[in-house]
Amino acid sequence: MNDETRLRSEARMLRRDEIDALLAFPMLARLATARDNKPHVVPVWFDWDGESLWIANDKSHRKIAELRVNPHVAVSIDQTCGGLRFWAVLMEGQAELIEEPEDFVREVTERIYVKYMGKGAMGLPTLQRMLPEGELILVKFTPTKIITWNDADTGIGPIG
Amino acid sequence: MTLSDDMPLQHGDPRTLSKDEIDRLLGHQVLARIATCDDAGEPHVVPVAFLWDGESMWIESSTTARKAQNLYKNRRCMVSVDGTQGGLRFWAILLKGEAELITAPVDHVREIVTRIYTKHLGAEGVLAPQPQAMIAAEHVVVKLTPAKIITWDTTHSPLPLFG
């Protein structure tokens, strides 16, 4: 493989450090689940710790009911850079549901809210109302497969 | 973004989008994410370019792509088109239904693929050699006429985002 070929093929994948850097931005992930062969997808907030994706949820949500039956998930985190150029991190594997200890569940949930809302977020009464005691559950997703594309020809990063 | 206590109250209450807003948002150069599932019941999701004609979403694919392979066995799919403006301000259009897979007549398929690329690349951009080569390739077009559309909007103004 000559240098040019190597560079070109590398340019179409994201390096590990690029994945970590991109996933630190407050972007939406799209979480796909399935039950009875019916796919479901919704945008979600998340925290990436380098190995696992953490998603905070209310126990009553549909995706939680689905994951109790079928833990398989797929996630897309992606962004268009104009035209047909975009980058994407696609993950697949099985999710775990974590309901306790409650302090841990709340701590991770707050970490996610702070990522998206800033450090002052937890002081807001509205947010406290969104985190009802005893109703929180975490989806911990450690992907067994990660596929990346990088068609962005002008450097990558969230836009806007 | 400046946080203040009245901000989430103002922006946190979700509303639904009107048909006109849905049509206008889906007319912009945003990506959709299409979720399908295989015969083992495992979900798959991938970002795609698309065209919305007011009733159906048109997505280009190929016979070897996983979304098409899944759809050949199980036509159910769900699509998310969404955006965030930071914090609690986001909007989403979720479409659900059974997809049709269209491979013929070839001229019709190429015309649809050309329209999808023109939306995303512009009338001049689509004439460049690379998109033209892609248009000339073999395609499967996924047509989703949603049986159900769910929308959320906590921005209360998703459209100005696109100018």
One-character DSSP codes across A127-141: HHHHS-TT-EEEEEE
Nearest CA in chain B to A74: B44
Say whether pLDDT at A153 is over 70. no
Say whether pLDDT at B11 is over 90. no
**Which chain A residues touch B9 with a CB distance below 8 Å?**
126
Q: Are B144 and B79 in contact (CB under 8 A)?
A: yes
Mean pLDDT of A11-19: 83
Q: Which residue has the higher pLDDT, A135 or B148?
A: B148
% of chain B surpassing 70 pLDDT: 90
Q: Is residue B162 part of a domain?
A: no
Q: Which residue has the higher pLDDT, B143 or A65?
A: B143
The CATH number, out of the four listed (2.30.110.10, 1.10.287.130, 3.40.30.10, 1.10.1740.10), of the domain defined by the range A3-150: 2.30.110.10
Q: Is residue B89 part of a domain?
A: yes
pLDDT band at B12 (very low <50, low <70, confident <90, very high): low
Q: Which residues contact B139 (CB under 8 A, 6 or more apart)?
A: B60, B61, B62, B103, B109, B110, B113
Mean pLDDT of B31-51: 95
Q: Is residue B6 part of a domain?
A: no
pLDDT at A90: 96
pLDDT band at A2 (very low <50, low <70, confident <90, very high): very low
Q: Is residue B56 part of a domain?
A: yes
pLDDT at A38: 95
Give me the domain span that covers residue B94: 12-155
Q: Establish if B150 touches chain A: CB-CB under 8 angstroms.
A: no
Q: CA B111, B54, B12, A45 torsion: positive or negative?
A: negative
Q: Are A136 and A56 in contact (CB under 8 A)?
A: yes
pLDDT at B18: 93
Q: Which residue has the higher pLDDT, B131 or B23?
A: B23
Q: Provide the CATH number for the domain around residue B92.
A: 2.30.110.10
DSSP state of B12: S
Distance from CA of B106 to the nearest CA of A (A): 22
Write down the H helix ranges in B54-105.
Answer: 66-73
pLDDT at A39: 96
Q: Is residue B120 part of a domain?
A: yes
Counted domains in chain B:
1
* Spatial distance between the Cα atoms of B12 and B91, rounded to a whole number of angstroms: 11
Q: Where are the beta strands (DSSP E) in A45-122?
A: 47-48, 53-58, 72-80, 86-98
| Least confident residue range of B4-8, B37-41, B79-83, B151-155 | B4-8
CB atoms within 10 A of CB B112: 19
**Which chain B residues touch A43 with a CB distance below 8 Å?**
80, 82, 84, 90, 92
pLDDT digits (tens, 9 = 90+) for B76-125: 999 999 988 888 888 999 999 999 999 999 999 999 999 999 999 999 99
Q: Is residue B7 part of a domain?
A: no
Distance from CA of A123 to the nearest CA of B (A): 9
Q: Is residue B5 part of a domain?
A: no
Q: Which residues of A touch B (CB under 8 A)?
A: 26-28, 30-43, 70, 72-76, 78-80, 82-84, 86, 88, 90, 92, 116-118, 120-121, 124-127, 130, 160
The verdict on a CB contact (< 8 Å) between A74 and B43 is yes
